[in-house]
């Protein structure tokens, strides 16, 4: 189950409606960032989580680079492994807080945040808290998650 939770929070990703942009800026930090790369990456993270809430696995997969690498307490995983694990995963609620951002280049950045989430995984209800770090890169005009790491907290 931990592997599934990690993969759910890790892969998150691509284009989002304007109301999510306003929600992200208003609800995450006391002082919203004016860095457009940070805003875009945070919106992509939220879009991936919203895809999982809606059961849109194709949308979730489209936000993840084919060569992406994910790491959690169970070890590393590929995109294919993550997609296999999220088939039996349903996210019902999540909150993101304490967002931090590091610009890596004009077309990439690392976002780190705390997530509190609930849902069901393989027929079992869960509530979890974790620290997420994800690297997003713009490739051919599309933002993709290329790396994600999850550390479960208490």
- Domain boundaries in the chain? 2-153
CATH numeric code, 2-153: 3.10.450.50
Residues 6+ apart with CB under 8 A from 22: none
Query: Residue 125: its pLDDT value, please?
Result: 97
- For the chain (154 residues), the mean pLDDT of every run of 10, in chain order, is 42 34 38 82 96 95 97 94 92 97 97 97 94 97 97 91
Query: Residue 154: its pLDDT value, please?
Result: 81
Query: Residue 29: its pLDDT value, please?
Result: 41
Measured in whole angstroms, the distance separating CA 127 from the mean position of its chain's CA atoms is 17
pTM of the predicted model, to two decimals?
0.78
What residues does 147 pair with on adjacent strands? 69, 135
Query: Residue 32: its pLDDT value, please?
Result: 59
């Amino acid at each position: 189950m931990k592997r599934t939770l990690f993969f759910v929070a890790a892969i998150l990703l691509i284009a989002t409606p304007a109301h999510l942009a306003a929600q992200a800026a208003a609800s995450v930090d006391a002082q919203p960032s004016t860095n457009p790369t940070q805003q875009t990456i945070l919106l992509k993270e939220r879009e991936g989580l919203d895809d999982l809430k809606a059961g849109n696995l194709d949308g979730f997969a489209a936000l993840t680079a084919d060569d992406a690498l994910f790491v959690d307490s169970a070890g590393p995983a590929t995109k294919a492994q993550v997609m296999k694990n999220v088939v039996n995963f349903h996210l019902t609620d999540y909150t993101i807080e304490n967002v931090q951002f590091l610009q890596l280049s004009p077309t990439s950045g690392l976002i780190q945040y705390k997530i509190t989430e609930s849902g069901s995984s393989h027929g079992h209800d869960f509530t979890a808290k974790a620290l997420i770090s994800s690297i997003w890169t713009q490739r051919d005009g599309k933002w993709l998650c290329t790396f994600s790491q999850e550390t479960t907290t208490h």
